[in-house]
Amino acid sequence: MNKDKFLALSGIILLLTISFVACSKPPASELPTTTDESLPVSPARPEEPEERPIYISSIAYEVKHRILLGDLEDFLKKYPIKQVEEEWTQEFHFGRGGNVYMGSRIPADYVYQAKVHIENANSLLTKGKLSTEIESRPLDKNEVAKELEEAKSLLMEQRSSSSTWEEKDIEWAKQSDVSEINNEQTILDIIETYDDYRQKLSEMITTLDRILSDLPKAIEG
């Protein structure tokens, strides 16, 4: 075999080898991919729910129907306030059955004043003025908030003071010479009555707190 034929044959073999290698190599799309699992993956960001608007009319409804004509009215039906010698009071009767019971009178000026402030807030929201005013005016949410804050503070004071009155009533019952009063049933009645009293005050305080939180965001409509 002469030199030229040998070189030609070698060239053909080399081309066939290159073609075979190229054909046997899988396409890039079929090659296995590698991922670095150590890299942090950003979680999908949840869509924030659209905040529903709060309207002044809703606040007015809450103050009037939820508190003034709702929780507060029910509270005063169960624990009426009476004026005794220029002081507002509430009277409890302790004892279960029989003709003998223990009476207790506690100060209730905080409750009375809280009612006045809630009525003021209701008047501002529904009539645009206080009950003592003649002309209505544009609503001032800060003025409404001040009335509701005062009511909340007074009810919290009443709730706090009730623990002291409860202790005094229990002590008085224990020292009584009357067997129908100085007994476990009367003590239990005192405790349960004051627990219910504070629970009802707490419900009004919680509602006022929520309304005060919503009021700055409230819009006309």
| pLDDT for residue 180 | 85
For residue range 150-198, what is the model confidence (pLDDT) as tens digits? 999 999 999 999 999 999 999 999 999 988 898 999 999 999 999 999 9
Using left for φ > 0, alpha for ψ between -120 and 50, and beta otherwise, residue 106 falls in beta
The mean-pLDDT minimum among 18-22, 32-36, 151-155 falls in 18-22
Residue 12 tokens, joined = 């053909």
| pLDDT for residue 13 | 43
Does residue 100 or residue 50 have the better pLDDT?
100
| pLDDT for residue 220 | 87
Does residue 23 or residue 50 have the better pLDDT?
50
Measured distance CA(144)–CA(117) in Å, rounded: 9
Return the amino acid letter for 163: S
> Got the DSSP string for 203-216?
HHHHHHHHHHHHGG
Cα-Cα end-to-end distance for the chain: 104
| pLDDT for residue 15 | 44
Read off the pTM. Answer: 0.76
Give residue for tokens 């080399």: 14
For residue range 72-120, what is the model confidence (pLDDT) as tens digits? 999 999 999 999 988 999 999 998 666 788 999 999 999 999 999 999 9
Provide the residue ranges of all domains of the chain, joining segments of one domain with +: 56-217
Does residue 45 or residue 60 have the better pLDDT?
60
Q: Which strands sit side by side in the sheet containing 81-84, from one edge to the other?
A: 81-84, 87-94, 102-107
| pLDDT for residue 7 | 43
Measured distance CA(114)–CA(204) in Å, rounded: 11
| pLDDT for residue 221 | 67
